[in-house]
Amino acid sequence: MKIVIVIFLLFSQLAFAQQDKSNLFGFATSNTFAYWDVKDTSFLNKVIALNPKLLRFPGGAVGNFYHYGKSGYGFDFEEIDKYDAGRFSKRSRGLVKSTIKKGHTHNYLDDFIVLAKKTNAKAVLVANMFVDNDDIIKMIEKIKSNNIDIVGVELGSELSNRTFFAKGYTINDYIKSAKKCSDKIKEKFPNIKTAIVAAPLVNKKNHRHTVWNNKLVKMDFYDAIIIHSYARVVKGKKEFGQMLTEIPEGNSKEEAFDLYKARIIKYFSKDYPNEVQEYYGLFKKPIWVTEWNLQISWTTGNTTLQSLYVAQYFLELLSNTQLENIELTTFHNLGGRDYSGSIFRNNSDTLEIQSTYNTLNIIGSVFHYDNISVRKEVIKDQIYKYQIFSKQKRVAQLVINWSDKKYLSRNKPSKKVKIISNYSTNLFDKANINGGLMSQSYIMQHDFLVECLPYSLTLTTYLDE
């Protein structure tokens, strides 16, 4: 019996190590097609270079009110005003204004299909829960007819928020519409997964978020839960993943960003794993993180701090067993007009690239490998080494250096290696409009000593002789 158990455990560990993790490297496309043209090769080629494995459409708030077949996102302003008490009413009109300005008469699903095919990415879709029609079925049919794999469907986005509750939308309304939509999808496409909106975790048992989650826990019509994660490091008033007001801290930028760095390190070592474990313990379902980023802020946006945060998020997903129940993620956001959230910023029709782009290029190279697994080593409390394995063979190494000291990564001499490093003098340094901070790239004959500069992400790739 003991031998059987040992064999089973070894098999389970091997199966987990070899599972496909490509769906973790995804990107939301909220607002993207209202501001960017997929026929623009300067934009398109940069997206292709990211190597996205998964793309989300139409997006969060946009997805809640999307209509198939109409121009742009097909918004119905009466519907939006009826259900949303927040700022989306104004934002949706701005998106339509951009659609008209650019002369777009097609539905943005067409652009999404072009982008997904060009990048060879799979799709995760957001369904409108406020209407009872066949839009989601038509979306699925059209995407599948273009030979794009669909991972699953989100049954709405952030519908537990106060903006909907203020208009009278309740958990009972949500369950009714979500179950009907899920059943409709599974009747025609039984292999497509559906996921429900989990509310934020709160300690009060009578809070509407607790009631929302407890009622959904008793349901069995869905396959996964959706959460959104925006690590908050700047003090002030926040709303929907971004800072509305920001309170200065420290006597200098250096002191302030040291505080932000400490909060990020704690977030990855304790806060986020605990949150994910609590969600899984409650729902016992796989988790989809369909929006995540560093809390959107003018202070930390487009900085070295944000770029290192984004790198470590992916590497923690790949290496921390407490996060293994996260089945897919889509970074928020690919392209828009906002500062710091989107990778590509449309600023008066000028393409501005944010600090996260070059970092994501490096991380994207890891997802070129099949059956990847990652082993983490804490060098010091601010330096982390991640060994990348493909089919149990070491193929690369990534080092995140949050400290202001140089780190020399010592390895046994083996074979020729390529080094790529993104870094900056300070955590608060902001990228230029081309996404640049500082970088270096070179080849060494042996990987005996790899230099990891302060405030850097360094990729070592082991080259075949």
Q: How many CA atoms lie within 13 A of 64 on its CB side?
A: 22
Express each pLDDT in 170-217 by its tens digit: 999 999 999 999 999 999 999 999 999 999 999 999 999 999 999 999
Residue 129 to residue 442: CA distance in whole angstroms = 51
Express each pLDDT in 51-72 by its tens digit: 999 999 999 999 999 999 999 9
Question: What pLDDT, on the 0 to 100 scale, is given for residue 465?
Answer: 46
Question: What pLDDT, on the 0 to 100 scale, is given for residue 115?
Answer: 98
Cβ–Cβ < 8 Å for 89, 80: yes
Question: What pLDDT, on the 0 to 100 scale, is given for residue 7?
Answer: 39
Omega before 286 within 30 of 0, i.e. cis: no
Q: How many CA atoms lie within 13 A of 231 on its CB side?
A: 27
DSSP state of 267: I
Run of H or E residues at 112 = helix 108-119
Residue 290 to residue 288: CA distance in whole angstroms = 6
**Position 137: which residue type?**
I
Q: Which residues of the chain have pLDDT under 70?
A: 1-19, 238-244, 412-414, 447, 465
Q: What is the pTM of this model?
A: 0.94
**What are the CA-CA distances from residue 182 to residues 48, 85, 176, 189, 221 (Å)?**
32, 26, 10, 10, 7
Question: What pLDDT, on the 0 to 100 scale, is given for residue 211?
Answer: 98
Question: What pLDDT, on the 0 to 100 scale, is given for residue 412?
Answer: 67
Question: What pLDDT, on the 0 to 100 scale, is given for residue 236?
Answer: 78
Question: What pLDDT, on the 0 to 100 scale, is given for residue 431?
Answer: 96
Sequence-distant contacts of 381-385: CB under 8 A, at least 24 apart: 381/265, 382/261, 382/265, 383/407, 383/452, 384/312, 384/315, 385/409
Question: What pLDDT, on the 0 to 100 scale, is given for residue 240?
Answer: 57
3-state secondary structure of 250: coil
Place of tokens 């040291």: 258
